[in-house]
Structure 1
């Protein structure tokens, strides 16, 4: 697992980072690797089919590639505009679709496509509305489902599909409520579970019918949490922020029963952190915030299903 840690640049009470670390599951240890060329915040990181990692966005239009064989970062093609709080999705053909985000207060509906073969970004069809803090999920048919988010200072409940073959967006069934800062998890049956986002409500999107159905309520309302598909098919949801504060609680969603049950809590309250499912099935959570925007976390912990 690759993560940014080192404090490098300070703005508005937030440390912006440019260093990176690698986690070794067999030894449970972290080691430093090469630093990014620029400090970044609210960016995305995508594992490409060639094994490299594409990092894009933040308060810059630059993008970088991490090579795990050399432990180094190199600049790649620049985006056509600055964006952060966007999404990045690796498509079936290996290209990366970047959608939405914000630039200096301007909410974006623009979309770009990165081609690893040429290292060039191409502007493609825009979404129907601007979105930040939304989700983007690559479906089995290769289309990308985008749902929820903040559309110009107002949470939205709409969803749309991007067809990379035809380069068009089409509206799909609307969700049963507005969501921002939620999670979207592809289940083994191809349906998409969305959870949280200023509430504890969860829904399932069925690509075959293009409809959303309610699927139980979580035990905690959450925003800025994480969701991980476990090897047993269940979904682990952890951390985040309810109406106030930050929480450490976790719960499991069982697709076979559509029931949420509580599970062991994390050792620390966390929001805005990462979660990675390891090869042995355990889940590594790292970093985040535990007291609003003023308390960065440097700890990591493992969840054993």
Structure 2
């Protein structure tokens, strides 16, 4: 039994949305309308006919004899041997009129509903076009070599995707794999120096990938490695000043990388930030620290700098800060309405930012929109399902794709939703084949989205791969 006192607004929205789901296909609506029209017309015709047509009960007595001719025959001895009688009848005008009316009444009252039903069935099964079976938006691709969760995936040139790191039932992975769409297959690439998860990978302007920090075997890592897509190899870079995991890494307008927050065993939750310069491979701390210590937060680049939202400090956070690269300073902007750990951010036109899902003791279905002009957040329509550790992909035409995630204790989702920014409406679409959280979603040049790995449960990492093709 559900304890209704413990349900928050997001859970109620989930229950309410589950009740609201109905079939909305156009053919079904037309069939219902046409059936109703034919049945109403047949019933109306029957009632009107009964009211207007009154059969004359004397119809059976209107046939009368007009003349009789008789003849007899006798035998030679005078005995009567037979008699033939001929009776002539005439029909009055009442016979034909009353008989016709009675026949019409019988036809309308008994045959018209049957005819209407037959016509309705013909319309449904013959005249109306058949709706073809919907084409699946999901297709299964070749599995990875290694099952993994909490990894990263990066799109290289020519829609080649590199997947690296992660964990499988607590085992940290050093391996990296490349998926090639031209061959439809995976191949192992070079391995990392250190296995890790909860790390970040950022694409530099020259196409190289920079892997930063993450969780190691015993503690947070401060090691950094760079991937060369030409040679397909990783090489170590200068380490960060502070080890960290659960941090964010954002590309600034000048090509430098801002790393913010995170956590490690020695210092706990961090407010420190540092900047990587790809030109000389050095790290420098920012002039000021964030106003809040935080990890498992989210960050996104904007025209004015980098916005950091939510996460966990001493508690679940709803605070929002913006980094000014010119001044190297942090300042608060308007708080979110809900506190969120691991929300996913989407940058929209006009500098608007969407914060989708995340958790606050339990997964959230709510989303919020940030307007930089007013520094305020506005609630938008909730998702159908609360979720965290999900993925969010911005498609063309301001359509947002949300896949999978974590709904409750060790319960993964396979549900998929599309959000239309313009209409502020969510639509449930075909589920993924596998429920998963902690997976990755990579938007490719043709608009398709590659879903890789993740966890079905805490001790069940996945190696399967699915491709979303927008119809």
TM tier, smaller: over 0.9
The 1-side partners of 2:297 and 2:368 are apart by: 15
Aligned equivalent of 2:294, options 131, 139, 147: 131
Match of 1:176 in 2: 337
TM-score, scaled relative to structure 2: 0.62
Aligned equivalent of 2:272, options 107, 110, 133: 110
The 2-side partners of 1:121 and 1:195 are apart by: 32
Aligned equivalent of 2:322, options 155, 161, 164: 161
TM-score, scaled relative to structure 1: 0.94
Count of matched residue pairs: 298
SS of alignment partner, residue 40 of structure 1 = coil
Instruction: Give the helix-richer structure, 1 or 2.
Output: 2
Alpha-carbon spacing, 1:6–1:187, altered in 2? closer, same or farther (3 Å): closer
The answer on 1:140 being equivalent to 2:303 is: yes
Where do 5+ consecutive residues of structure 2 fail to align?
Answer: 1-160, 215-219
Where do 5+ consecutive residues of structure 1 fail to align?
Answer: none
SS of alignment partner, residue 232 of structure 1 = helix
SS of alignment partner, residue 276 of structure 1 = strand
Alpha-carbon spacing, 1:266–1:189, altered in 2? closer, same or farther (3 Å): farther
Aligned equivalent of 2:179, options 23, 26, 36: 23
Q: Cα RMSD over matched residues?
A: 1.4
Q: Single out whichever of 30-39 and 107-116 deviates more from structure 2.
A: 30-39
Aligned residue runs from structure 1 range 1-305, under 5 A: 1-4=161-164, 13-58=169-214, 59-104=220-265, 106-124=268-286, 125-141=288-304, 143-152=305-314, 154-197=315-358, 198-244=363-409, 245-292=411-458, 294-305=459-470
**Residue-by-residue CA offset, 1:82-126 (whole Å, 9 max, x unaligned):** 100111111111111111111017011110100000100111121
Contact 1:20-1:36 within 8 A present in 2 as well: yes
The 2-side partners of 1:191 and 1:49 are apart by: 24
Instruction: Give the strand-richer structure, 1 or 2.
Output: 1
The 2-side partners of 1:299 and 1:5 are apart by: 16
